């Protein structure tokens, strides 16, 4: 598969300085390669760096619970990060690192073709939207781009560091579920006026019972 080929091509990536700053391995992404929903985080942490999969530490366990609360599972979605290598001491990604890795994230999105991309935190949201926008201003809202819809969410790690954000994150995943339900709802086409059935005359109008049936 093309996604597997891209992953293999990045196996020992040396394109940016992170390759020489202590990373153990490239963390490409995991999940359903034909998922309609994709989650994008910031960067691998120490657990992800060791295992080679995104979101497998404490933040990953919280993400699993949040997915479950929204009626989702890892098997249904695809999960990746903006950058594929762990920054030293889990520092923020630097601009040159983001610019180096961004094309590979965009290729992942192009190959998976999700309808919805849920960005987790500021870095992922700003990278996908291509502009500086605080996550608190756009979280839990649907932003339509040319090929997919972006649904920004707080990063689970933020809720672990600031317990007061945990309830907000749960509420935002409820909003995600509600949005998914609207996406899946069938479209009811209006009947043209000319084709509409004539209104029964008063003599033939059926009498409604208490339940409107």
Q: Which residues contact 12 (CB under 8 A, 6 or more apart)?
A: 19, 26
Instruction: Assess if residue 205 is contained within a domain.
Output: no
Instruction: Assess if residue 200 is contained within a domain.
Output: no
* pLDDT, tens only, 108-141: 999 999 999 999 999 999 999 999 999 999 999 9
Instruction: Assess if residue 176 is contained within a domain.
Output: yes
With 50 as the cut, is the pLDDT of residue 200 above it? Answer: no
- Mean pLDDT, rounded, for 10-24: 96
User: Residue 1 has what pLDDT?
Assistant: 61
Q: What is the count of structural domains for the chain?
A: 1
Instruction: Assess if residue 211 is contained within a domain.
Output: no
Give the domain extent around 156.
Answer: 2-181
Question: How far does Cα 73 stand from its chain's mean position?
Answer: 12
Choose among 67, 78, 96, 90: nearest CA to 180: 67
Instruction: Assess if residue 117 is contained within a domain.
Output: yes
Instruction: Assess if residue 212 is contained within a domain.
Output: no
Bin 201: left if φ > 0, else alpha if -120 < ψ < 50, else beta.
Answer: beta
CATH code, 50:
3.40.470.10
With 90 as the cut, is the pLDDT of residue 154 above it? Answer: yes
Residue % of the chain over a pLDDT of 90: 85
With 70 as the cut, is the pLDDT of residue 4 above it? Answer: yes
Instruction: Assess if residue 213 is contained within a domain.
Output: no
Instruction: Assess if residue 186 is contained within a domain.
Output: no
């Amino acid at each position: 598969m093309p996604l597997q080929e891209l992953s293999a091509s990045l196996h020992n990536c040396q394109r940016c300085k992170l390759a020489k700053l202590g990373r153990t391995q490239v963390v490409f992404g995991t999940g359903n390669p034909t998922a309609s929903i994709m989650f994008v985080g910031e960067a691998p942490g120490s657990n992800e760096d060791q295992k080679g999969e995104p979101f497998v530490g404490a933040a990953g366990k919280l993400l699993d619970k949040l997915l479950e609360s929204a009626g989702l599972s890892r098997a249904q979605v695809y999960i990746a990060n903006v950058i594929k290598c762990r920054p030293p001491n889990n520092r923020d990604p630097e601009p040159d690192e983001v610019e180096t890795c961004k094309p590979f994230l965009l290729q992942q999105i192009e190959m998976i073709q999700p309808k919805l991309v849920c960005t987790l935190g500021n870095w992922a949201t700003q990278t996908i939207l291509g502009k500086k926008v605080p996550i608190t201003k756009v979280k839990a809202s649907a932003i339509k781009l040319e090929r997919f819809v972006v649904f920004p969410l707080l990063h689970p790690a933020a809720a672990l560091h600031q317990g007061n954000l945990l309830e907000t994150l749960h509420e935002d995943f409820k909003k995600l579920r509600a949005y998914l339900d609207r996406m899946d709802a069938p479209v009811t086409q209006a009947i043209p006026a000319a084709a509409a059935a004539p209104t029964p005359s008063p003599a033939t109008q059926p009498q409604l019972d208490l339940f409107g049936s």
